[in-house]
Amino acid sequence: MRTSIRFAPCVALLLVLTSRALGQEHVHEDAATMAEPPSLSPDTMSAMLAADPGEKWLTMVHGFAFLTYNRQSGPSGGEDFESQNHVMAAALHRLWGGKLSLLGTFSLEPATIPRAGSYELFQRGETYNGILLVDRQHPHDLFIELAAAWERRLSDSFALRLYLAPVGEPALGPIAYPHRLSASAMPQAPLSHHNQDSTHITYDVMTAAADWGPLTVEGSAFHGAEPNENRWDIEAGPIDSYSGRLTLRLLPELQGQVSVGHLENPEAIEPGNQTRAVGALYWQRLTSDGFLAVSLISGFNDTEEGREWGSLLEGTWKFGSNGIFGRVEAVDRDLYELTHKTQRPDGVERVRTRVWAATLGVSRDLPLFPNVATSAGASATLYHFTSRLDPVYDKTPFGFQAFLRIGFGSHGGAAPHHAH
């Protein structure tokens, strides 16, 4: 039996037991709200991080797990049972006239997703056994974030913030897809992940930021290499890359963001530096019985061989116990990689092709466990691509996923909880 089949039920049980244990005294009165990522902010738990911790520690844990049946059709696809999951924790305390935040994000995907990755047609990025992963989405590392942040507000409209992380996220790219409200019902990663937010797991990150009214300015220095195939460790390295990001809260429900970064040799088997630039718009509105969230993101990697784009429009509409979600993407791909499922060798001319993907899905809340938000859902993905790839993918391949989503949250400490 495959590893993912063995471990997925264990992850679900672990999350349920954890949420119940942590929530005995400080369960949020609306567990469904806690199960969703926070609103418009690049911080993992921005609503909680904005709170005043008072004189005692303020703590919070929340997370999610998808238990997923995944099928990708055609000769390049396959099927599997797997679990995408994250657990996030934070602790706040007053320090030096400001606020200290200790942040941690973890995933058991090294055990709940095959080492060769989850089946996903036209996906590419990172490696398995030294070979480029094609039509697979790699699992997240155990350690996604281990960081400390310190913030001091100098006036009602101006604040300074410092962020240090052996593993964390630099000021580059949009809100990472596992934490976007617009993507909260989708277990699969965007095909444009490595053109936009793949740096959400980065090593030796140092960031300085300033908030001035509706504007946030951030600058980071970090180690540019992506995680290697060992998903259980922390891979320190020289600080050789840098980035900057501007975030503008245009309206209470609308936020815009642009970022640019230099990445020093980010790919393990593709020597060379990259310049990445990403723009994003996030819009969301809370309703009486749910929310509506939409993200528009476009980014590119500029290398010695030219510019590679990835763009998406995604959204989730939650109304009562029901949800509708979807994503449309356009990504540039290398024709040789898609055809041969490996890195293009030296001397072979690079031929780019554009792939389109459209995903539509539905979900329904299921009150299975106390103090835990659960929902069941399914989604289907269709693709459009050059006919030259028909022998490799069939003329009309599709992706299908059916899942159970489990979310939990717990808060304890001196300060009252602030809802999202």
State the pLDDT at residue 3: 46
Per domain, the residue ranges of the chain are 3-412
H-run or E-run covering 320:
none
- Distance, C-alpha 145 to centroid of its chain: 12
What is the residue-level pLDDT of the chain in tens, covering all 420 positions? Answer: 444 454 544 454 444 444 444 443 333 333 333 333 333 333 334 555 566 666 688 999 999 999 999 999 999 999 999 999 999 999 999 999 999 999 999 999 999 999 999 999 999 999 999 899 999 999 999 999 999 999 999 999 999 999 999 999 999 999 999 999 999 999 999 999 999 999 999 999 999 999 999 999 999 999 999 999 999 999 999 999 999 999 999 999 999 999 999 999 998 888 889 999 999 999 999 999 999 999 999 999 999 888 999 999 999 999 999 999 999 999 999 999 999 999 888 888 889 999 999 999 999 999 888 888 999 999 999 999 999 999 999 999 999 999 999 998 875 554 333 222
DSSP 69-94: EEEE-STT-EEEEEEEEEEEEEEEEE
Burial class, 71, CB count within 10 angstroms (exposed 0-12 / middle 13-18 / buried 19+) = middle
Which pLDDT score is estimated for 101? 94
Task: Please give the pLDDT value at position 13.
Answer: 43
Tell me, what's the pLDDT at 279? 98
pTM: 0.87
Q: Could you tell me the sign of the dihedral formed by the alpha carbons of 218, 219, 223, 226, in that order?
A: positive
**Domain at 3-412: CATH code:** 2.40.160.10
| Strand locations in 200-273 (E) | 202-212, 215-223, 241-251, 254-263
pLDDT of amino acid 345? 87
Bridge partners of 70, per DSSP, are 80, 401
Residue with tokens 């709200």: 33
Q: What is the 3-state secondary structure (H, E, C) of 93-109?
A: EEECCEEEEEEEEECCH
pLDDT of residue 50: 62
Whether residue 44 contacts residue 88, with contact meaning beta carbons closer than 8 Å, is answered with: yes
